[in-house]
Amino acid sequence: MPNATKNGPPQSPRIAIAIMAAGKGTRLKSKHPKVLHEVGGKPLLAHVIAAAAKVVPAKDVYAIIGHEADRVREAVAHAGIGFVLQKEQRGTGHALMVAREALAPYDQVIVLSGDAPLITPQTIEKLRDFHLAKKAAMTLLTAQLENPTGYGRVIRKKVDRDDVQAIVEQKSLSPAQKKIREINAGFYAFAVKPLFRHIDKLHTDNPHHEYYLTDMAAILGKVKQPVVAVEADDPYEVLGGNTRAELVDIDQRLRLAKCRDLMAEGVTVFYPETCVIDSDIEIGADTVIEPFVQILGNTRVGGDCRIRSYSVILNSEIGDGVLIRPGCVLDGARVKAGAVLGPYSHLRPGSEIGEGAHVGNFVETKKIRLGKGSKANHLTYLGDAEIGEGVNVGAGTITCNYDGIHKHTTIIEDGVFIGSDATLVAPVRIGKGAYVGAASCVTDDVPADSLALGRSRQIVKEGWAKEKREKMKVLKTKS
């Protein structure tokens, strides 16, 4: 609620968001920190930060980090948030104790869990608004779950009342309490002053020997501070990823939701449950995604494209009206409007495919520019090459770009025709409009409009085969 000030209009409360992200994640049995495990193509913590930074400015978001702190910090530092180091992880209550200094200048703090990535800005706002409206010292977000096992349970003072008496962790539940389906989601809002006035009352007298932040409900209640609970609209938003199975479940939910969002924006995704599309991917309207397609990382796909089955596209930019036939692999590629790829093309980093260009079956490209309307349709390797417009690269062509130490560039100017099975030994330049005969090994530059032949002449020995057969026949009858 706004504070009344002497000389001015009421001020809005200063609100921080603290994200608990210091835990090891023992239940994942992983050498990587829990909050860096990925769902929807990015770390758990990155999802939570993204939601938090939509509610308060990023500078007021603090991640409490500890286990593998440097790695965690590095992975999310670009978000512009603050960090608090919890060197030893002695529980969620302890996480807040070490954040005391960082949070002291604020009036309110919203606490989120770094391992619960489905939380939305709307729900964080709902928690904030309820907390402020109730003038509570502590507000917890809850959810009704079919299967509440593993979560802390909410003990309300009376059913249908907002007031909370306590939160009881799974391991300490009485048989009657086990029946409670309302769980503590692990998201809280606290008034900063009462939180830190009483936080030192937390103790480690529990099965995990940790300081439980959840115990603040009973502690604040005892000193007559209001503790209330508000239920999330969608229980799915509060799911936490403590185990591999839970992470996979969250990942699937995120990806299905992503497909639904894309469809709402005019993209068709056939059999969405077979597709893997990362959370931040953008795709234009009227694009059709066939089953078993993966679109990952920092990829943008234009409108009116068709991406056929079994293609995997990572960190690439695809223009409008591109056809990607089955089984293509793209990594760090740019494909301009109207291009046609595949089936089975492999575009490696730095491949730039021009407007209307074709890259076909079993063609591998790396660090090349293929000009407008040019074609490399079959069984070809194009690496470190600049290829102009209207070029035809015959089947089986290879740019020999590597001499064992250095990479060299092949330049193929506009309108060149490269016959099949040519080997172009870089550095080499094929001038505008030139022809390279099939099976040529080109080691020297080819001037514009000329024909290059780099192979030995054909020899024909008439009657040779017939003679050989007859000799064989004689040998056979003798033996």
The binding site for Ca ion (CB under 5 A) comprises: 115, 240, 242
> With binding defined as CB under 6 A, does residue 90 bind ligand UD1?
yes
Q: Which of 40, 41, 43, 91 binds ligand UD1 (CB under 6 A)?
A: 91
Cα distance between residue 289 and residue 469, in whole Å: 57
Residue matched to tokens 């029946």? 179
In the bound complex, what is the minimum distance in angstroms from residue 27's beta carbon to Ca ion? 9
Q: Which of 47, 49, 55, 89 binds ligand UD1 (CB under 6 A)?
A: 89
Q: Which of 32, 198, 378, 408 is catalytic?
A: 378
> Read out DSSP for 143-192?
EE-S--TTSPEEEESSTT-SBEEEEE-GGG--TTGGG--EEEEEEEEEEH
Closer to ligand UD1 by Cβ: residue 86 or 440: 86
Q: Which of 180, 245, 190, 256 is nearest to 217 (CA)?
A: 190
> With binding defined as CB under 6 A, does residue 299 bind ligand UD1?
no
Cα distance between residue 210 and residue 231, in whole Å: 26
Q: Which of 116, 202, 313, 335 binds ligand UD1 (CB under 6 A)?
A: 116
Token duo for residue 287: 């694009």
Q: Which of 52, 64, 138, 340 binds ligand UD1 (CB under 6 A)?
A: 64
**Partner touching 21 among ligand UD1, Ca ion, none, CB below 5 to 8 Å by kind:** ligand UD1
Give the residue closest to ligand UD1 by C-beta.
152
Check if 378 is active-site. Answer: yes
Q: Bridge partners of 228?
A: 139, 163
| Interface segment toward ligand UD1; rule CB under 6 A; list 183-191, 338-346, 400-408, 464-472 | 183-191
What are the CA-CA distances from residue 166 to residues 30, 145, 449 (Å)?
Answer: 33, 18, 86
Cα distance between residue 214 and residue 221, in whole Å: 12
Q: Which of 40, 41, 186, 194 binds ligand UD1 (CB under 6 A)?
A: 186
Instruction: Report the helix count and the strand count for the chain, using DSSP H and E.
Output: 9, 37
In the bound complex, what is the minimum distance in angstroms from residue 150's beta carbon to ligand UD1? 7
SS3 133: helix
SS3 95: helix
Q: Which of 242, 287, 316, 397 binds ligand UD1 (CB under 6 A)?
A: 242
Binding pattern for the stretch 35-54 against ligand UD1, x by CB under 6 A and - elsewhere: x-------------------
Closer to ligand UD1 by Cβ: residue 51 or 64: 64
Hey, which residues between 243 and 272 contact ligand UD1 (CB under 6 A)?
A: none
What backbone torsions phi and psi does residue 471 show, to the nearest 5 degrees? Answer: -60, -40
> Read out DSSP for 382-411?
EEEEEE-TT-EE-TT-EEE-B-SS-B--EE
In the bound complex, what is the minimum distance in angstroms from residue 95's beta carbon to ligand UD1? 4
Query: Rounded to the nearest 10 degrees, how much is the dihedral formed by the CA atoms of 395, 400, 404, 405?
Result: -140
> With binding defined as CB under 6 A, does residue 152 bind ligand UD1?
yes
| Interface segment toward ligand UD1; rule CB under 6 A; list 127-135, 209-217, 243-251, 258-266 | 209-217
Find out whether 296 and 280 touch, Cβ atoms under 8 Å: no
| Interface segment toward ligand UD1; rule CB under 6 A; list 110-118, 171-179, 434-442, 468-476 | 110-118
> With binding defined as CB under 6 A, does residue 151 bind ligand UD1?
yes
Q: How many alpha carbons lie under 13 Å from residue 167 in its C-beta half-sphere?
A: 27
Pairing mode of beta strands 340-341, 358-370 = parallel
> With binding defined as CB under 6 A, does residue 169 bind ligand UD1?
yes
> With binding defined as CB under 6 A, does residue 23 bind ligand UD1?
yes
Catalytic (active-site) positions: 378
List residues near ligand UD1 by CB under 6 A. Answer: 20-23, 34-35, 64, 86, 89-92, 94-95, 113-116, 151-152, 167, 169, 183-186, 212-214, 240, 242
